[in-house]
């Protein structure tokens, strides 16, 4: 064998061309074989030989070691369809060995349940397998003390497991790439394909596994060969090339017939001096050899914020190099140690900048919507049809709901989500049956608060519920008929049919949708690979299959794009080995990325690896050796850049966390400073803000900006980009409207506008207001915050909770439960004659318990109760509380002479006054929990229960008259007016002497609790207080009818249900609202004061509390 040593560029490339010409010159048909370590290097040599050097290559084969192995296998066995298993498959093999409790796996029990545990163990066993370690020999070495005399159980357990694993795979003919290499070594000498070649060239590898090394040695003995080995030898030894040198001295040196058969290309005197790969790199002192650079060579460092900024900077500089320096896209490369941090941005950034790119990277399969939809379907039986998961599935763009729709109806996934939330569905067939029960008529959405603007019926909601119920029934049936146990292949075929039915994923010979073709093919292939697990475990349950399917989906990947595109090459550092560029961008030059963080193997320590290699002769490299490989990779990249080298690092990530630059950058600066001529390395910080970015290169080239960025720059320069957006963007109209809105919003000194909520009179809304009336709750909301009123009562906005995430019923739900139980209790007492002389025959405690149980049962049928234990405690607590509340309530009824007359009464009445004018003819409506009547004095009382969980009463709770004057508690004065209408309807009793409204606070934590009564008398509508109430009411109605819905920030913002859409934290908006005189007058409502005498006069029973 002839051995040629030197850097890739230009030495090994020139030498390869020279050798190919030498062998082709006497016979152009001379068969030659070039073996390379990777597909990317294979592609590079094709371009070098044909495009750059113009060679006519008849009968020249360019193959990787794996491709050659497959050809030899085909020669020997007549087929190349050998099924080679992947890492995920062998991870399952390991899980099987450990899970079945075999003696060899006892030391790893429980590892199969830990995330990533068996995959890490498989990586260790793969190192042993690639090193062709004989486990029995290794165990003998353990007994002989090679691995230390004490505490060898760990290493012995590993070798025993490896022996069991190897035997298990051999018995079942489970092969991987290493097994293929071993299999063909015995057939290489008989291979007709291999004997066909007159000469074999080995090009570009500097490290091989033991299997590959033995194969390489075999081929070198079988055929005349030349090795092109990347190594730059110096004295003293060059630290950047230590990794390559070590492999060369251990596994290559002896293959040359003599020293004359070894050529060091970089040291040959007849060679024209060219740039050497930085003899000073990673050295404290200059090394031997020339360090020449072209006069126009440039190196620059960019420091950025986040991974996307790195790619943006590279893209803009690529455009500049192409436009100004004439460097073609295919002559540039973008490289990172790993592309994982960038893979989500690569296509987007290069597409935006119209840069063609050949991307040698893979992205996770699970990031694609179709893969997520496939898993959503698979997880339904695992999660018992969890509402959010099921809605996500049927909302997927790949889910075809049309077959379940009646003629003329279209699926509405938005309504499905909303309605299932309002129905309180969490999971399980019984809860999903609510769809059927509520699909008889259009769904009526109950008000959020008692007395709000009434109920709302969604047109067509019944149809949508029927569609969703049909979908659910069909999916539930199809998944329910799957066998509880079966083989991997049975389940795989069943799921392929289900995915085809529901998501359109077809087999490769089918017709999947174009946008899902790659993803669908990958999922189908994954299921085919899962079928192969029949050889490992013939029978499994459905849960095991689905969990494995999910695990494989999460850890599978597919290529980002075609890699044969003519454009900028985007690669990781390993793939980029041996590929030259006129301009090269190295991303991710941060500590922990390049060089990467290197850790010892948790299962096979470096000291044990050292014994395997040094004492037993197996090539199982130490993990610490990877430090040298990192240096070599960086040196190869530096040597690959002919004219321009750019290094980019993040000084902070996307979250603002400071990051450390790689120490390789300081080594590069030092080495370039010793070059001839010295190369200066400027560092350009790229600002984070868009405004500041345009001041630095390459962001200052307007012609290199995508339309969206150019529009932003024009906007910042006070230029109108509308014409640009008309041409390039479909949202030009939206932009113009948004620009007008932003101009108004960012003006701190102007008047309030429509963007602040000053909309002016809304005729349709005002007509509806006077036709259907107002409730006290809606007016209270307007008094509290006009914007909140607009968002809730006008737009119908509100925070949607996920029922499946409810841990315990919220406060409003507990309040509704209290109301329902108390209503039921008093209705039952009335039915049993409690208030008509049969008091002694009624067990009040039993009535409370019965009413509570019935209410809880109804609640559970339609609402998620949360955690069972917490729910049970709440039930018991509420029953005990309401027993005491009812006892006090009955005692008060007995002492005052009142008796319940009506429950949950809906009433409406027109305001009786001529002035103020805007109140004339205004209809009031409300629902009262209970109306009591006192026959002796012909008095009526409205009772409204309020559950309070605070520790003490607030001023608003105690002083209902003052709260009403401020617009904070309008239910009592409204209920008084409505109760008068109720009294007028009971004509046989004569006119009511008086009417009052009482809040019955169910307040277990108040000092006076658990039942505290506060009363509002009908006399409050008279005199000065009455005038004040009318003024407040008129002001609120005027604000609504004039369309004034400006924000009113305050303490209530903490509990606001539309805070997400409020601009209270936007300072210009807040300043305008504070300066607006009407908004100021609105705010002053909360400062209204009444004299002590007025309050006492209007509240004769203000402090009445019944024990």
On the question of pLDDT at 998 being above 70, the answer is yes
pLDDT tens, 382-418? 999 999 999 999 999 999 898 999 888 889 999 999 9
List Cα–Cα distances, 495 to 126, 368, 471, 543, 925, in angstroms.
31, 18, 17, 13, 56
User: Which residue is associated with the tokens 């002016």?
Assistant: 760
pLDDT tens, 240-258? 999 999 999 999 988 887 7
Q: With b meaning 16 or more CB within 10 Å and e meaning fewer, what string describes 520-536?
A: bbbbbebbebbbbbbbb
- Least Cα distance to 931 among 921, 918, 940, 922 occurs for 940
On the question of pLDDT at 1103 being above 80, the answer is no
Rounded Cα gap, residues 443 and 461, in angstroms: 6
pLDDT tens, 627-641? 999 999 999 999 999
Q: Which pLDDT belongs to residue 1042? A: 95
- Confidence class of residue 152 from pLDDT cuts 50, 70 and 90? confident
Average confidence (pLDDT) over 793-797 = 88
List Cα–Cα distances, 797 to 298, 418, 793, in angstroms.
59, 12, 8
Whether 298-361+563-693 and 2-82+187-267 are alike in CATH topology: the answer is yes
- Report strand pairing: 568-572 vs 332-336: parallel
Rounded Cα gap, residues 659 and 654, in angstroms: 11
Q: Which pLDDT belongs to residue 448? A: 39
Q: Which pLDDT belongs to residue 694? A: 84
Rounded Cα gap, residues 731 and 390, in angstroms: 33
Q: Which pLDDT belongs to residue 278? A: 65
Q: Tell me the two tokens of residue 685.
A: 């910080």
For residue 730, give every residue at least 6 positions away whose Cβ sits within 8 Å of its Cβ, in sequence order, or none: none
Average confidence (pLDDT) over 1002-1028 = 93
pLDDT tens, 463-522? 899 999 999 999 999 999 999 999 999 999 999 999 999 998 864 445 555 557 889 999
On the question of pLDDT at 542 being above 90, the answer is yes
CB 76 within 8 A of CB 190: yes
- Least Cα distance to 816 among 511, 451, 563, 361 occurs for 451
- Confidence class of residue 260 from pLDDT cuts 50, 70 and 90? confident
Q: Which pLDDT belongs to residue 1007? A: 92
On the question of pLDDT at 984 being above 70, the answer is yes
Average confidence (pLDDT) over 997-1021 = 94
Average confidence (pLDDT) over 980-996 = 76
Q: Give me the chain's average pLDDT, please.
A: 89
Share of the chain above pLDDT 70, in %: 93
Q: Which pLDDT belongs to residue 838? A: 83
> Of the segments 692-696, 723-727, 734-738, which one has the largest average pLDDT value?
692-696
Q: Which pLDDT belongs to residue 224? A: 92
Q: Which pLDDT belongs to residue 1097? A: 55
Q: Which pLDDT belongs to residue 507? A: 47
Sign of the torsion formed by the C-alpha atoms of 347, 349, 355 and 358: negative
How many residues are given for the chain? 1107
On the question of pLDDT at 989 being above 80, the answer is no
More reliable by pLDDT, 891 or 705: 891
For residue 194, give every residue at least 6 positions away whose Cβ sits within 8 Å of its Cβ, in sequence order, or none: 33, 68, 72, 75, 188, 219, 222, 223
Q: Tell me the two tokens of residue 247.
A: 């492999």
Rounded Cα gap, residues 850 and 59, in angstroms: 93
Rounded Cα gap, residues 615 and 2, in angstroms: 30
Within 241-331, strands assigned E span 262-264, 298-305
CB 241 within 8 A of CB 215: no
On the question of pLDDT at 557 being above 80, the answer is yes
On the question of pLDDT at 302 being above 50, the answer is yes
Domains in the chain: boundaries: 2-82+187-267, 87-174, 298-361+563-693, 375-559, 766-1098
Q: Does an H or E element contain 909, and which?
A: strand 899-910
Average confidence (pLDDT) over 1047-1070 = 91
More reliable by pLDDT, 675 or 825: 825
pLDDT tens, 9-35? 889 999 999 999 999 999 999 999 999
CB 349 within 8 A of CB 559: no
On the question of pLDDT at 81 being above 70, the answer is no
For residue 291, give every residue at least 6 positions away whose Cβ sits within 8 Å of its Cβ, in sequence order, or none: 275, 276, 278, 279, 280, 671, 674, 675, 676
On the question of pLDDT at 208 being above 80, the answer is yes
On the question of pLDDT at 58 being above 70, the answer is yes
Rounded Cα gap, residues 158 and 1019, in angstroms: 90
On the question of pLDDT at 359 being above 90, the answer is yes
- Least Cα distance to 281 among 647, 665, 668, 638 occurs for 668
On the question of pLDDT at 612 being above 60, the answer is yes
- Confidence class of residue 734 from pLDDT cuts 50, 70 and 90? confident
On the question of pLDDT at 1041 being above 90, the answer is yes
CB 355 within 8 A of CB 568: yes
The dotted CATH code for 2-82+187-267 is 3.40.50.300
On the question of pLDDT at 60 being above 60, the answer is yes
Task: Give the count of beta carbons closer than 10 Å to the beta carbon of residue 137.
Answer: 13
Q: Which pLDDT belongs to residue 707? A: 81
Q: Tell me the two tokens of residue 796.
A: 């119908």
pLDDT tens, 282-296? 887 765 555 556 667
Average confidence (pLDDT) over 319-332 = 95
Rounded to 10 deg, the angle between the 488-503 and 461-480 helix axes is 160
Average confidence (pLDDT) over 158-176 = 93
- Report strand pairing: 939-947 vs 923-934: antiparallel
On the question of pLDDT at 1100 being above 50, the answer is no
Fold of the domain built from segment(s) 766-1098:
Lambda Exonuclease; Chain A (3.90.320)
Residue 21, CB-side half-sphere exposure with 13 Å CA sphere: 11
On the question of pLDDT at 891 being above 90, the answer is yes
On the question of pLDDT at 459 being above 70, the answer is no
Got the DSSP string for 976-1026? HHHHHHHHHH-GGG-S-SEEEEEEEEE-TTSTT-SEEEEEEEGGGGSHHHH
On the question of pLDDT at 297 being above 90, the answer is no
Architecture of domain 298-361+563-693: 3-Layer(aba) Sandwich (3.40)
Average confidence (pLDDT) over 984-1002 = 80
Q: Tell me the two tokens of residue 300.
A: 């620059």
Lowest pLDDT segment from 121-125, 345-349, 710-714, 1075-1079: 710-714
Within 122-231, strands assigned E span 199-203, 225-230
- Confidence class of residue 1104 from pLDDT cuts 50, 70 and 90? very low
On the question of pLDDT at 101 being above 50, the answer is yes
On the question of pLDDT at 965 being above 90, the answer is yes
pLDDT tens, 484-495? 999 999 999 999
Architecture of domain 375-559: Orthogonal Bundle (1.10)
Q: Which pLDDT belongs to residue 986? A: 67
Q: Tell me the two tokens of residue 405.
A: 């729709």
Q: Tell me the two tokens of residue 536.
A: 């490992």
């Amino acid at each position: 064998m002839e051995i040629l040593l030197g850097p890739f560029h230009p030495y090994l490339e020139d030498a390869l061309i020279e050798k190919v010409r030498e062998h082709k010159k006497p016979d152009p048909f001379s068969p030659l074989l070039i073996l390379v370590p990777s597909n990317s290097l294979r592609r590079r040599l094709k371009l070098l030989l044909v495009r750059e050097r113009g060679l006519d290559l008849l009968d020249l084969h360019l193959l990787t070691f794996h491709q050659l192995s497959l050809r030899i296998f085909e020669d020997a066995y007549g087929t190349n369809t050998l099924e080679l298993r992947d890492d995920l498959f062998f991870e399952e093999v390991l899980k099987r060995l450990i899970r079945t409790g075999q003696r060899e796996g006892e030391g790893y029990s429980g590892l199969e349940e830990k995330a990533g545990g068996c995959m890490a163990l498989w990586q260790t066993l793969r190192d042993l397998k690639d090193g062709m370690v004989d486990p029995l020999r290794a165990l003998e070495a353990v007994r002989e003390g090679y691995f230390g005399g004490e505490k060898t159980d760990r290493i012995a357990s590993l070798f025993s497991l490896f022996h069991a694993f190897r035997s298990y795979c051999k018995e079942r003919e489970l092969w991987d790439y290493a097994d293929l290499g071993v299999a063909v070594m015995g057939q290489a000498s008989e291979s007709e394909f291999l004997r066909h070649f007159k000469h074999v060239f080995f090009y570009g590898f500097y490290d091989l596994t033991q299997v590959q090394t033995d194969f390489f040695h075999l081929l070198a003995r079988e055929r005349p060969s030349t090795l092109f080995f990347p190594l730059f030898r110096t004295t003293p030894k060059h630290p950047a090339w230590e990794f390559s040198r070590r492999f060369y001295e251990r596994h290559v040196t002896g293959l040359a017939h003599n020293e004359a058969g070894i050529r060091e290309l970089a040291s040959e005197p007849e060679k024209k001096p060219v740039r050497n790969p930085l003899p000073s790199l990673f050295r404290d002192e200059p090394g031997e050899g020339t360090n020449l650079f072209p006069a126009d060579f440039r190196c620059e460092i960019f420091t950025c914020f986040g991974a996307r900024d790195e790619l943006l900077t590279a893209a803009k500089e690529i455009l500049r190099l192409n436009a100004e320096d004439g460097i073609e896209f295919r002559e540039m490369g973008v490289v990172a140690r790993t592309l994982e941090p960038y893979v989500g941005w690569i296509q987007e950034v290069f597409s935006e900048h119209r840069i063609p790119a050949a991307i040698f990277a893979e992205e996770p399969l699970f990031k694609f919507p179709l893969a997520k939809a496939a898993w959503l379907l698979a997880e339904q039986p695992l999660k018992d049809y969890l509402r959010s998961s099921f809605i996500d599935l049927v909302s997927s763009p790949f889910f075809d709901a049309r077959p379940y729709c009646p003629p003329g109806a279209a699926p509405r996934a938005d309504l499905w989500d909303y309605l299932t939330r309002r129905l309180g569905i969490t999971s399980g067939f019984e809860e999903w049956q609510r769809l059927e029960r509520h699909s008889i008529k259009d769904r009526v959405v109950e008000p959020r608060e008692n007395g709000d603007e009434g109920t709302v019926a969604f047109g067509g909601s019944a149809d949508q519920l029927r569609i969703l119920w049909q979908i659910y029934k069909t999916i539930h049936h199809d998944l329910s008929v799957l066998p509880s146990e079966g083989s991997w292949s049975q389940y795989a075929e069943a799921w392929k049919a289900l995915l085809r039915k529901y998501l359109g994923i077809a087999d490769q010979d089918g017709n999947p949708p174009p946008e899902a073709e790659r993803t669908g093919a990958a999922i189908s292939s994954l299921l085919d690979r899962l079928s192969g697990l029949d050889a490992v475990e013939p029978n499994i349950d459905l849960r095991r299959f689905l969990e494995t399917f999910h695990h494989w989906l999460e850890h599978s990947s597919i290529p980002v794009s075609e890699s044969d595109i003519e454009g900028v090459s985007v690669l990781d550092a390993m793939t980029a080995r041996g590929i030259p560029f006129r301009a090269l961008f190295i991303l991710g030059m941060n500590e922990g990325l390049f060089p990467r963080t290197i850790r010892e193997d948790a299962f096979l320590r470096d000291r044990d690896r050292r014994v395997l290699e040094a004492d037993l002769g197996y090539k199982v490299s130490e993990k610490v050796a990877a430090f040298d490989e990192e240096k070599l990779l960086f040196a190869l990249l530096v040597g690959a850049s002919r004219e321009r080298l750019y290094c980019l690092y993040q000084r902070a990530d996307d979250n603002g966390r400071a990051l450390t630059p790689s120490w390789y950058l300081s080594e590069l600066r030092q080495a370039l400073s010793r070059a001839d001529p010295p190369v200066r390395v400027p560092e350009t910080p790229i600002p984070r803000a868009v405004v500041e970015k345009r001041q630095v290169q390459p962001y200052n080239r307007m012609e290199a900006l995508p339309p969206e960025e150019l529009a932003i720059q024009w906007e910042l320069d006070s230029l109108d980009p509308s014409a640009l957006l008309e041409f390039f963007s479909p949202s030009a109209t939206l932009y113009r409207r948004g620009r007008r809105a932003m101009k108004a919003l960012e003006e701190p000194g102007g008047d309030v506008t429509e963007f602040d909520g000053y909309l002016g009179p809304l005729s349709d809304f005002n007509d509806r207001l006077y036709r259907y009336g107002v409730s006290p709750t809606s007016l209270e909301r307007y008094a509290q915050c006009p914007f909140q009123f607009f968002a809730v009562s006008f737009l119908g906005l509100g925070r949607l909770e996920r029922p499946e995430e409810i841990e315990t019923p919220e406060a409003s739900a507990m309040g509704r439960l209290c109301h329902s139980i108390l209503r039921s209790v008093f209705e039952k007492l009335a039915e049993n004659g409690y208030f008509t002389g049969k008091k002694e025959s009624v067990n009040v405690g039993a009535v409370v318990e019965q009413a509570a149980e019935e209410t809880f049962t109804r609640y559970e049928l339609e609402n998620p109760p949360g955690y069972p234990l917490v729910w049970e405690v709440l039930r018991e607590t509420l029953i005990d509380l309401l027993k005491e509340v009812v006892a006090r309530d009955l005692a008060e009824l007995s002492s005052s002479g009142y008796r319940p007359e009506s429950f949950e009464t809906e009433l409406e009445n027109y305001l009786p006054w001529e002035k103020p004018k805007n109140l004339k003819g205004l209809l009031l409506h409300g629902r009262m929990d209970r109306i009591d009547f006192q026959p002796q004095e012909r008095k009526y009382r409205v009772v409204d229960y309020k559950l309070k969980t605070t520790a003490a009463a607030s001023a608003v709770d105690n002083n209902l008259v003052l709260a009403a004057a401020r617009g904070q508690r309008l239910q009592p004065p409204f209920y008084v007016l409505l109760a008068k209408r109720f009294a007028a309807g009971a004509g046989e009793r004569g006119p009511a002497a008086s009417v009052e409204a009482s809040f019955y606070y169910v307040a277990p934590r108040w000092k006076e609790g658990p039942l505290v009564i506060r009363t509002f008398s009908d006399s409050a509508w008279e005199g000065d207080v009455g005038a004040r109430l009318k003024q407040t009411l008129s002001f609120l109605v005027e604000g609504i009818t004039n369309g004034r819905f400006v924000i009113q920030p305050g303490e209530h913002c903490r509990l606001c249900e539309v805070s997400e859409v409020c601009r209270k934290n936007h300072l210009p908006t807040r300043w305008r609202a504070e300066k607006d005189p009407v908004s100021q007058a609105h705010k002053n409502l909360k400062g209204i004061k009444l004299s002590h005498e007025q309050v006492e006069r209007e509240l004769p029973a203000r402090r009445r509390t019944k024990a």
